[in-house]
Amino acid sequence: MFLTEEQKGMLDGKKGEVVQRCMRLLVRLGEIYGAEEMMPVKSVQVAGVSYKTVGDAGLEFLQDFADKGAKVIVPTFLNPAGMDLVDWKELGFPEEFAKKQNQVMEAFRKMDISISATCTPYLAGNRPNKGEHLAWSESSAVSFANSVIGARTNREGGPSGLAAAICGFTPKYGLHLDENRRPNLVIDVLAKLESNSDFGALGVWAGKKAGKKVPYFTGIKSATEDQLKILGASMAASGAVALYHVQAITPEADQDISELEKFEFTEKEKQETYDSLNTAEHPQLIVFGCPHASINEIREIANKLKGKHAKKQLWVCTSRLVKEKAEAEGLVKAIKEAGGHVVADTCMVVAPIEQMGFASTGVNSGKAATYLPGFCKQKVMFRDIDRLIEEALS
Amino acid sequence: MKGRIINPGKAEGEALVSSEPIGFLGGIDPKTGEVIEKGHPLEGKNVKEKVLVFPTGKGSTVGSYVIYGLKKNGVAPAAIVNLETETIVATGVILADIPCVDGIETGKIKTGDRVKVDGENVEVLG
């Protein structure tokens, strides 16, 4: 692998032990994946933030790295934490968990990382431009950046993202290169997509078909950014899709697809996907915002709750920044008056909801519906917003 | 035997060989070095100061942090030898600075063999 003089120096330890370790990690990963050189990155998204995910092993690593003086040199943002960093007590998060979670955040803070705590950095002050190279982890954000924005990033892990943030580089392979951004299969959507959860169902189905490949969608007439966010997140959860194209909608969709294998998503596949994900009839907890809700989604939920009162716990998960916007519009108050909470910094998948006494959750997200049974031992209701709100009120 | 260096270094120790992949998160206790995965061929064995030989890694990416924890707690293997090192183990050994080589036919090494790892070379001393 070709390295500049500066990069060689970093590898030889001229910038200290932490930089040397990180550079060694990037070079070795580059060699494993056949990279010929390093490339600078504009921003980094670091995963492995919730104490529930990283545990003591991760906490100790992060503290040790921070104590050794690790500092990031490019704008670096964080995935959701395991709790609302402000309202955790009110929401019933366990004290011991909160203590550990705060230690994780402190280690990140010491490394100069923004405590953005969101899986949607592109809605919270870090929206990349088309063609920019990034080192993002968080599979749903990777998918959005590549597919909807046309920026370029591989699916990084927590440590490889952190190493890129500390060195400022990532090995140039995979989705940084044109040849790996072409589609390898076509999914023709014949089913009607009427709600955000329909996009989630399509994503769950398509992710299983695509695995690690790049799917190309035809037959989708229109899609909002929120719907594309949900589609990509679902495919990254049920498969490992990091890039997809939608004919006439996404920025790199001008592609030759005539030779590609084609699959059809009809009403039958849609219904089967809903059926396979639904395991609860009357969930105890209703959660929106996977990936983190946009201001539009919060407006929609606040509107639908107007004049009503939820009898069940109802959370709308979002980033701190979007929560502040929602507060300014009176939406946080409106949702609270209807018995719900706008929860920041965390989500139903990385929060310890099973420890908090919940055994079943209602969601409109294909990603959450895929992860909740395994990660949080939940039974799941996977339906659209209207059906879930009806459930919350009953 | 000659392999590919994943993390450079020199080490010598008794081999602990697994025919099955190892997942470090939930598979090995980072405090003691004991293999804790139920039903794993190495269950109950300790990796401390051993040359740990297994085909490849598996499981959660948090496993990289467990490898780092083993080193920090003084219970890490002396070296790791793989058939094919995947990203989780590669990330862990590099961060923890544990010598690691892949591209080695791990089936040719037996538990209890004295093994020397030096850069890309893996030697069974008998």
Q: What is the pLDDT of residues A71-109, one digit of tens each?
A: 999 999 999 999 999 999 999 999 999 999 999 999 999
Using CB atoms, pick whichever of A53, A64, A158 lies closest to residue B72: A64
Percent of chain B with pLDDT over 90: 77
Residue with token string 């039974």: A379
- B94 CB-contact burial (10 Å; exposed 0-12 / middle 13-18 / buried 19+): buried
Hey, where are the domains in chain B? 4-124
Going through chain A in order, the beta strands assigned E by DSSP cover 38-40, 44-46, 76-78, 135-136, 169-171, 185-189, 215-218, 245-246, 261-265, 285-288, 313-318, 341-344, 360-363, 379-382
- What pLDDT is stored for residue A2 in this prediction? 97
Q: DSSP characters for A207-232?
A: HHHHTTS-EEEES-----HHHHHHHH
Q: Alpha helix locations (H) across B19-123?
A: 63-72, 87-96
Confidence check on the interface: ipTM exceeds 0.90, yes or no: no
- What pLDDT is stored for residue B59 in this prediction? 74
Q: Given 3-state DSSP classes, what are the helix, strand and coil percentages for chain B, each rounded to the nearest 5?
A: 20, 30, 50
Write down all domains in chain A, each with its CATH number in brackets. 5-178 (3.30.499), 182-275 (no CATH), 278-393 (3.30.499.10)
Interface-testing mutation among B7, B64, B73, B85, with chain A (most A C-beta atoms within 10 A): B64
Pick out chain A residues at pLDDT < 70.
Answer: none
- What pLDDT is stored for residue B39 in this prediction? 87
CA angle A287, A289, A290 (to 5 degrees): 100
CA-CA distance, A26 to A29, in Å (whole number)? 5
Q: Are B30 and A57 inside 8 Å of each other by CB?
A: yes
* Residue A51: φ, ψ to 5°: -60, -30
* Residue B11: φ, ψ to 5°: -160, 155
Using CB atoms, pick whichever of A32, A55, A61 lies closest to residue B68: A61
- What pLDDT is stored for residue B25 in this prediction? 82
Cα dihedral across residues A276, A282, A283, A286: positive or negative = positive
Homologous superfamily (CATH) of B4-124 is Phosphohistidine domain (3.50.30.10)
Q: Residues B61-94: pLDDT tens digits?
A: 788 989 999 999 999 999 999 999 888 899 999 9
Cis peptide before A291 (omega within 30 of 0): yes
CA-CA distance, A12 to A66, in Å (whole number)? 21
Q: Is the model's pLDDT at B60 over the cut of 80?
A: no
Using CB atoms, pick whichever of B72, B88, B94 lies closest to residue A21: B94
- What pLDDT is stored for residue B19 in this prediction? 95
Measured between beta carbons, which residues in chain B are less than 8 angstroms from residue A160? 87, 91
Taking CA–CA distances from A65, the nearest residue in chain B reads B95
